[in-house]
Chains A and B, each alone.
Chain A
Amino acid sequence: MSVAIPEFDESSVDISSLDFSDLEEKYNVKAPTLIDNCVIVDGAPIAPESKGPILKKVLTKLFSSCGKIEELYLPIENGKTLGYLVIRYSNFNEASKAISSLNGKKLDVSHRLLVNKLTDIDEYVLSGKISDEFKEPEFPEFKEIGHLNSWLLDSKFRDQFLINFNQSVGVYWYRKNLENEPVIEPRTQWTSTFMKWSPKGKYLFSMFPQGVQSWGGPEFTRIHRHLHPGVRLIDFSPNEKFLVTLSPEPIMDPMELREELRKDYPFKSEDIGKKLVIWDISIGLPVKTFALPPNLENATRMPWPLIKWSFDDKYCARQGPDAIAIYETENDFQLLDKKLVKVDEIQDFEFSPSGVKLASNGKKDAQLETVLSYWTPESDNQSAKVSVMQIPNKNVLRTIPLVQVKDIKLNWHETGKYLCCNVTRHTKSKKTFFSNLHIFQLFEKDIPVDKIELQDLILNFKWEPRSNKFVTISKIDKGELSQTNIGAESNTTTFFDVEEVKVGGSSLKKWVPLTSISNSFNDISWAPQGRFVILTSFGLPSTQLKFFDVEFDGEKPKDQNKKVQSNLKLLATHDYAGLCELQWESSGRFVSAVSSTWKTKVNNGFTIYDCVGHILKEEQIGNFKEFQWRPRPESLLTSNDKKRVRKNLKEYAAQFEESDTMDTNAALRVLILKRKELLSEWNEYRSETLTKLNALNLLHHAENIENETIETIKEVVLEETDEVVE
């Protein structure tokens, strides 16, 4: 069946009857007139007539930098210049250039030039569109969102976690042995893809097609909308001051947006076409935009993060071809010293994750320095190099040359104390690869570098976050043949620790293996506070989690290196199907294994273990996407406080155990409350009695009785034998 559509006959329309005036007005291109070539300059000095020519000469010189000046009109009234002038350029472009480059130019300390199109005066001032009166901008009303860190004040000091499943996102309190307690009602449509906590847990970010939104406070109220259409990737500065977003869609000209959208659009004309944005999280506005480097413009796989941060958020840096661009965040994101740091053929760089106490600074409480490391590959006459540079003075503190290098991975220790360069080297034949480790000791005098030569190729390397131990996973590289039978291949996991070697009067650190284990694991996950480590494999349908303790308090097996302090003990082994991610809670007490529907359809959900590998909670949730512990800021306790806590650990534990018991068992809860009451009743009774006795002056019999311990030793003859001495 078909419906006859009457054909549209163009000729039947009488064009002359249509009113095109609106379109004509919109697309009418006015021929540039002479007046369009003119700019009006305001803010020039007011000088006596006699100085007029000199002023004219100075200004002519300045403005000629933008183009050919056809005419310069400096009006003079009552023997004085008026502080403004009109300049006519030879064409429109030159006028525009003058406006963009010289507007706001400081002539001297007290004179700042304002350069505008002469036609603008017509359009905005004379037409009355803009009134002369200052209109106070409207400030958005202050929204009370509550304390952003209020969740840290939980009376039971519990942790929060977020789960994203089935179109909804929920935030819960983690409770041992109990159902999760929701912090807020799970919200549907909260995010279009993923959610992210800021690095110290203050904010929660959700994604939506038009940008990113930040949430916080006890009720997770919206704080800001960071409009960045098409945003895909986000990242943060370590102290959660700045947010970085990347969108494949270039930023549009705000003038092309509809009026109502333009009002909230945070970008300006200079941001047009850029894709990478840095935002100030607290005010919710962009502070810097970048275009993508040309080599990444059409890349399918984006290295991320593109912007790396110093530990204190003071500097951020981007890698460019043959250079690093370092920006000062406190100085309006200007380039450090206004120029790039030239490093030919730079391959990769990393900031140290914490401030570095350089020995060269002397003093014990030396300030924390920002340090970054980078490496360059071999070239014709040059060996490959790893260098460590201090910021902001760009001193290169140490460089090591390397040969036969294929790749280098820079692994900073969390504390900034060590930098391990995992160097992949090729044999002379270039057919197989093996690894060397070079460890920089940043806190030591002259930054010594310890070298560990291995036959294996290191596949994975992880520092223990708090001490100088590390774990590697490696295998013998047999060339291409080995690629055929990956499943049967076994990797070697090696635990390293430091042996102090005395050389003369000083002791040197030397990294030596504690022990090696042969297995098929490919991933290492240290607890954030160290000591416990989980070995596992990702990307397999089914895998194992092995929990290890590297400081086991017990007898050390014979096959472990006696010279180092570590003592390795396998604590637990669990099978896990569909493992996608391991997430440690920031205190290192809990770890969750996650199976996400984004990567696998097997066993979607999560399991929470404690640090020694006991299963605490298992949940299988259909269409489960992500699990995230809420990060915590660093502890404010001093090391003395921590010592005291450790000393009285039993007492503290008692309190928590009590509240755990009360939570789990209602009957026990009643009993405990009853006992509490009895105890306080009794203590009250006793203190009353003691006050009474004290009033009667009867407490004196608590005087000290002197005790004398008398030890008596009794000797008993057990046996007597006579021996005749020759």
Chain B
Amino acid sequence: MSNKLMRPIVLKGHERPLTQVKFNREGDLIFSSAKDYQVCLWYSSNGERLGTYDGHKGSVWSVDIDLSTNYLITASADFSGKLWKAETGECIYTWNFEAPVKRVEYSPDCKYVLFVTDQVMGKLGKIQIFNIDFTKSEQESKPILEIVNEGDATTKPTIATWSYAGKYILVGHADGGISKYDSKTGELLEHSTPFKKTVTDIQTSSDRTYFIASSKDQTAKLFDVDSWKLLKEFESESPVNAACITPVKDYIILGGGQDAREVTTTSGGEGKFDAKIFHKIFQDEIGRVKGHFGPLNCIAIHPEGSSFVSGGEDGYIRLHHLPKSYFDFQYEVEKTAEALQHQNKDQVETSA
């Protein structure tokens, strides 16, 4: 691989729009879910497909993998969530719900799992938390906690994730609101409505102390988990479907684009289907990665920040190993600060 030019690897395996992509903890594998009912597993180094997980009878909305890369969990529009053996593709357990399941995620210690179910057909949108025990194939079918949407369909939860230590559950709502619930009691601790349109993605920093939420209103915002304070704002020129915080470098990556149904009304090729890289601290856009020919639905960053994948409405996954220039880029002030730090360290060393 050349250090100067970034050559994306296009992963072709899904026939329908992607819904979620995810790295395992070591970052050597990528899991992807799509509306074609399939879940695929890929090598992250070369984009080779290892296999698929077949069994869902509806769009797979969400996917997650445990810390040891043994157990895959999926959420589907077929009203079910499934637990799989990651290595063999065997389905171990199925949870059944009364509504399509939009999101699934292990708690950081992989002892719990949360499902977000949709508010349709008279059912209320819910976040349900289950105990999970990998030593048994049979899992508890009853949730230990249920957070039920109390408003109408406009306030239903669309997305949820765990905070540091699994202490809180961070939820994005269809009306642009975000909330923080205690993961033990289900108590609502914080709620605010920083967005004008539905919240599309919430991803935390690697230490899960702050998170980025993105919205169809063309913005993404950074919040602190504890203080619930708005830290940073980023503006895009099209709806943002996914956002992630990069480890190592202080960047964030946003993905999105005009909705598929509106693309025809915009001028040709102007769908703005780029992954946009912003500087996390200075909030400026510093780079773009083109390639998809439909909106980006999901984005994931390698746990060590060395590559990222995006899944598009176009059915493709694009895998990017980040080039040297990505790592070398620094604002003058960053260089200066680093130099000062170095000097101070040197001085400390010499005086010691």
Interface residues of A (CB under 8 A from B): 644, 648, 650-652, 654-655, 657-658, 661, 672, 675-676, 678-680, 682, 685, 689-690, 692-693, 696, 698, 701, 705, 707
Contacts and interface: CB of A to CB of B under 8 A. Distances in A.
10 contacts: A644-B346, A654-B330, A657-B332, A678-B282, A679-B281, A679-B337, A690-B207, A701-B108, A701-B207, A705-B303
A685 B207 CA distance: 14
A705 B250 CA distance: 22
Contact of A658 (B224, B333, B346): B333
B164 A679 contact: no
Given A658-B333, A705-B26, A707-B26, A693 B339 contact: no
Contacts of A690: 207
Nearest to B210: A689
A661 to B, nearest CB: 7
B26 A655 contact: no
B110 to A, nearest CB: 12
Contact of A672 (B25, B280, B333, B340): B333
Contacts of B282: 675, 678-679
Contact of B336 (A655, A678, A705): A655
A38 B343 CA distance: 77
Nearest to B339: A651
Given A657-B332, A658-B332, A676-B333, A652 B339 contact: yes
B123 to A, nearest CB: 36
Nearest to A660: B332
B289 interface: no
A654 B332 contact: yes
A651 B340 CA distance: 8
B255 to A, nearest CB: 23
Contacts of A661: 332
A682 B281 contact: yes
B231 interface: yes
B188 interface: no
Given A698-B165, A705-B26, A654 B209 contact: no
B270 interface: no
Interface of B: 25-26, 108, 164-165, 207, 209-210, 224, 226, 231, 250, 280-282, 303, 330-340, 342, 346
B333 A693 contact: no
Contacts of B281: 675, 678-679, 682
Contact of A675 (B25, B210, B333, B339): B333
A263 to B, nearest CB: 52
A678 B284 CA distance: 12
A520 B333 CA distance: 48
Contacts of A701: 108, 207
| A interface, over-half SS | helix
Contacts of B224: 685, 689
A655 B341 CA distance: 12
Contacts, number: 66
B27 to A, nearest CB: 9
Contacts of A678: 281-282
| B interface, over-half SS | mixed
Contacts of B207: 689-690, 693, 698, 701
A685 B281 CA distance: 11
Contacts of A693: 164, 207, 209
Nearest to A644: B346
Of B210, B280, B336, B337, most buried by chain A (CB within 10 Å of CB) is B336
A707 B306 CA distance: 14
Contacts of B26: 705, 707
Contacts of B332: 654, 657-658, 661, 672
Q: What are the 8 A-B residue pairs with the smallest beta carbon separation, nearest first?
A: A654-B335, A651-B339, A658-B332, A675-B333, A682-B281, A655-B336, A689-B209, A676-B333
B333 A679 contact: yes
A591 B334 CA distance: 32
B102 to A, nearest CB: 27
Contact of B165 (A648, A651, A696, A705): A696
A707 B45 CA distance: 13
B44 to A, nearest CB: 12
Given A654-B335, A682-B280, 9 more contacts: A651-B338, A654-B330, A655-B335, A658-B336, A675-B281, A679-B281, A679-B333, A692-B209, A693-B207
A651 B281 CA distance: 20
A698 B108 CA distance: 11
Contacts of A685: 224, 231
A244 to B, nearest CB: 41
Contacts of A689: 207, 209-210, 224
B342 A651 contact: yes
A654 B336 contact: yes
Nearest to B207: A693
Contacts of A650: 335
B182 to A, nearest CB: 16
A648 B209 contact: no
Contacts of B339: 648, 651-652, 654-655
A644 B335 CA distance: 17
A480 B231 CA distance: 85
A698 B333 CA distance: 31
A684 to B, nearest CB: 12
Given A705-B25, A707-B26, A648 B340 contact: no
Contacts of A672: 332-333
A214 to B, nearest CB: 36
Contacts of B342: 648, 651
A651 B346 CA distance: 13
Contacts of B25: 705
Contacts of A696: 165
A331 B163 CA distance: 81
Of A652, A679, A707, most buried by chain B (CB within 10 Å of CB) is A679
A661 B336 CA distance: 13
Nearest to B341: A651
Given A651-B335, A651-B339, A707-B26, A698 B164 contact: yes
Contacts of B250: 682
A449 B217 CA distance: 83
A91 B162 CA distance: 118
B249 to A, nearest CB: 13
A696 B108 CA distance: 15
Of B210, B226, B335, B338, most buried by chain A (CB within 10 Å of CB) is B335
A690 B336 CA distance: 23
A355 to B, nearest CB: 27
Contacts of A680: 337
Contacts of A652: 339
Contacts of B226: 692
A651 B336 CA distance: 7
B225 to A, nearest CB: 9
